[in-house]
Amino acid sequence: MPAAARSRRPRHATRCGRWASGIRRGTRSTISPLWTEELFAFAVGSIYQSGIFTPRFIELMSIAFDASITHMYAPGTRRHIKGALQAGATPEEIMAVLQICVSMGVQACAKGVPILAEELERK
């Protein structure tokens, strides 16, 4: 891990309460450490520290982002499921979030399949 990334670890852990090991491997941090630092400072750290949302809600939203069809990040999904359970979320709430993620994928098929059929008819 580059020295600059190591120096960010304590600041991120302080803002978010934990450090996601491996989150930066193969990501923009190697290309743009400043972008990564700004992302964590603004988008991630401020969410956990603002007090606007409960930790439970933040973890449930994080599950939705990591499990969504556009992201599909299994390590993050696992981390946030554990965090949600620790924050008091029920298995039923977590399943409801995952069902929403499935419906996003279904919607992609519902829109994409008819377009595919139209294009195949044109051939």
Sign, Cα dihedral of 10, 13, 17, 18: negative
84: confidence class by pLDDT, cuts 50, 70, 90: very high
Q: What percent of the chain has pLDDT over 90?
A: 30
pLDDT for residue 30: 60
pTM above 0.85, yes or no: no
SS (H, E, C) the chain: CCHHHHHHHHHHHHHHCCCCCCCCCCCHHHCCHHHHHHHHHHHHHHHHHHCCCCHHHHHHHHHHHHHCCCCCCHHHHHHHHHHHHHCCCCHHHHHHHHHHHHHHHHHHHHHHHHHHHHHHHHC
Domain ranges within the chain, ordered by starting residue = 1-52, 54-123
Q: Residue 5's closest CA among 19, 16, 18?
A: 19
Arithmetic mean of pLDDT, 36-40: 73
